[in-house]
Amino acid sequence: LPRAVALPEQHPVRKQNSIHLAQLKNEVFVTSDEAQVPGLNRRISAVCWKHGKFRPKYAGPALNLADGLQMVANENAVAIFPSFMRHNTATGVTIVPLAEAAALQRVMPVQGNLDPIALLAGGKALAQAVGDIRRALAGGSHVFNLGHGVLPETPPEHVAELARLLA
């Protein structure tokens, strides 16, 4: 999924397979720094209104990703993050996919979708992962890159293979 929701680890909906925006209508959202991500808060507000029929309350801004996760854990806020965050291991935070991820992609670009393990594996696993991402995100803006960067043990040939798959 292109987007996920970071929740405090004791949040009542933390064990669901996905969360609908409407379930977050009473939550406080972590806001991003407008200078770093211009317009993101406005776009999140628009999606919350369109798909959840609410205007979010905001706390912040978070200065960076770690600061945003800390706000989620310590201030009982929620945050919308890229899908690669589903592998997050920050203490006090649970990541759950957002059910309206496709709708969110129509108002903001998606970035960081390939799991670095798929690149490490190469071959059929890499080709399958790239194909899945391209099909899933064909309906909106998408910047294709790795969720966490290239792992040091990744063979350079696999990076070249990824470039060929994307050409």
Nearest to residue 111, comparing CAs of 56, 13, 9, 40?
A: 40
Rounded to two decimals, the pTM is: 0.65
Helical packing angle, 123-136 and 156-166, nearest 10°: 40
Rounded to an integer, what distance in angstroms lies between the CA atom of residue 54 and that of residue 23? 10
> Do residues 46 and 96 touch, judged by C-beta distance below 8 A?
no
The pLDDT, as a whole number, for residue 112 is 58
Each residue's pLDDT, cut to its tens digit, for the chain (167 residues) gives 347 889 999 999 999 988 998 999 999 999 988 887 788 888 888 888 888 899 999 999 998 888 889 999 999 999 987 666 666 667 899 988 888 766 666 666 666 578 888 899 999 999 988 887 887 777 777 778 876 678 899 999 999 999 999 98
User: How many residues does the structure list for the chain?
Assistant: 167
Residue 156's pLDDT is 96
The CA dihedral of 47, 62, 150, 91, to the nearest 10 degrees, is: -100
Q: Output the pLDDT for position 129.
A: 86
Q: How many whole angstroms separate alpha carbon 115 and alpha carbon 60? A: 29
Neighbours of 90 (CB within 10 A): 17
Cα–Cα distance for residue pair 83/136, rounded to 1 Å: 12
Phi then psi for 59, rounded to 5 degrees? -130, 150
